[in-house]
Amino acid sequence: MGNSVPHRTLQYRLRYLAEQGRVVTEGQRRGMKYLPASAAVETGTEAEALSLSRAAQDIRKNVSRPLLSRKIVGYNRDFLDSYRPNESAYLSETERVQLRKTGAVQTGFQPAGTYARNILDRLLIDLSWNSSRLEGNTYSLLDTKRLIAFGKEAQGKDQVEAQMILNHKDAIEFLVDNADEIGFNRFTIRNLHGVLANNLLPDPQAAGRLRQIEVEIGQSSFRPLAVPQLIEECFDQILDTARAISDPFEQSFFVMVHLPYLQPFEDVNKRVSRLAANIPLIKANLVPLTFADVPKDLYVQATLGVYELNKVELLRDIYLWAYERSAERYAAVRQSLGEPDPFRLKHRDALRQVVGTIVRDQLDRAAAFKYIETWTAENVVADERDKFQRVAEDEVLALHEGNFARYQVRPSEFDAWRQIWDRKK
């Protein structure tokens, strides 16, 4: 358009189109972009990848309208009251059968939490990273692994981001370590919030405490309940209802819908719902839901669909897709035999030296990370340093009683090191 339209006039016209719902915006201020509403909602690559249903696409279109054009709504108690455990169902029988087929990993009876404990090291990283990412956390997957495994905070990142990830790690360990005792009860959900909200709320006493103040949802026309007595009453009703549901996937999805909708805590509600959604999966030894590759914007729109419209179709489509994605990833880990890694073969002696020294010198996680970093900088050529450091870290994290001998480590040395390595930070 060149200079044919004054800048202020163009801004006014774009704002008018946005208010009319004819365009949608992405970003803020100088970074704001204006897109045709139909293109943004119906032809986006995210929607195509997930094969969204027509109902889900309609939800996206509705919640993508300008905020001023969306009706202000309050908490609808009938949405919760109308759900009847084992009679109502957000997931169809066909969907539940497919989910169980997709997520089944154990044969025969196993104590609750057995599978989650078997994959705990990977689960801590995958679920902590993806759930934090959905909250806008900018840590990379590698940053997250180093923080969880070695206590190494990423340079240039806010400490709040590290705290969020470490809280996720502690919360997942809480669920897995107590798989026999956890459930949809006050003890589990309030303590789950207490761990996830640790050191993140202005009022430290609000961690694990039901909300007693009004809250607002950013960029939403939804106004949550404000009366503490009603919040507590609905919270107990959600837990009672979830506990009565017999199917683990319906249980899982039910709490993903209703916990954030109630907003029982001052903040951190969606994080609680994502980890609480894993409770029945952990107890039933099913593949956990890690939210791998779930697009943040699409997830936000799905929660807005629940808040403002009491419609679950978009969140349901995301849940189904995300669970299949999670199951595929863990199945690939179980089934992959792999070919010999040329890089590991090339650096076989160096890796043996580094890992062996960490064990024999009984280095804890922080000291081990520093040793790998320093040794790599001094002994590996520049263009291979990053990869060597990642591989060495992986080798240390993969150590167990069945593979330490290849690093020329004696059983007594491994046992002594493991006691130090496994200490809670």
- Joined together, the tokens standing for residue 158 give 């806010």
pLDDT at residue 21, as a whole number: 55
What span, in angstroms and rounded, lies between the C-alpha atoms of 174 and 195? 9
Tell me the β-bridge partners of 33: 26
What span, in angstroms and rounded, lies between the C-alpha atoms of 98 and 159? 41
| Contact status, residue 282 vs residue 179, Cβ threshold 8 Å | yes
CATH match of 73-335 with 1.10.3290.10: yes
pLDDT at residue 30, as a whole number: 60
- Joined together, the tokens standing for residue 380 give 């590996």
Amino acid at 378: E
Instruction: Say which DSSP state 137 is in.
Output: -
DSSP secondary structure letters along 308-350: HH---HHHHHHHHHHHHHHHHHHHHHHH---PPPHHHHHTHHH
pLDDT at residue 27, as a whole number: 54
C-alpha distance from residue 95 to each of 107, 179, 389 (Å): 22, 25, 43
pLDDT at residue 393, as a whole number: 94
- Condensed to tens digits (0 to 9), the pLDDT of residues 280-316 reads 999 999 999 999 999 999 999 999 999 999 999 999 9
Q: What is the pTM of this model?
A: 0.82
What span, in angstroms and rounded, lies between the C-alpha atoms of 249 and 86? 12
What span, in angstroms and rounded, lies between the C-alpha atoms of 3 and 10? 10
pLDDT at residue 40, as a whole number: 43
C-alpha distance from residue 336 to each of 143, 305, 339, 385 (Å): 25, 39, 9, 26
CA angle 138, 208, 210 (to 5 degrees): 110
At a CB cut-off of 8 Å and minimum separation 6, what does 305 contact?
Answer: 59, 60, 62, 63, 311, 312, 313, 314, 315
| Contact status, residue 170 vs residue 313, Cβ threshold 8 Å | no
Half-sphere exposure of 82 (CA within 13 A, CB side): 7
Quick one: which of 45, 26, 51, 28 has its CA closest to 37?
26
Q: What is the dihedral of CA 7, 8, 14, 15, to 10 degrees?
A: 150
Element spanning 262, H or E: helix 248-262
Quick one: which of 375, 373, 418, 396 has its CA closest to 152?
373
Enumerate residue ranges in the chain where pLDDT < 70: 1-4, 8-9, 12, 15-16, 18-33, 36-49, 106-107, 332-340, 424-425
Residue 417 burial (10 A CB sphere; 0-12, 13-18, 19+): buried
Locate the DSSP E strands across 120-178: none
Domain boundaries along the sequence of the chain: 1-43, 73-335, 342-421
C-alpha distance from residue 225 to each of 5, 74, 233, 264 (Å): 46, 7, 11, 9
- 157 phi-psi bin (left φ>0, alpha ψ -120 to 50, beta other): beta
C-alpha distance from residue 313 to each of 44, 88, 301 (Å): 18, 15, 11
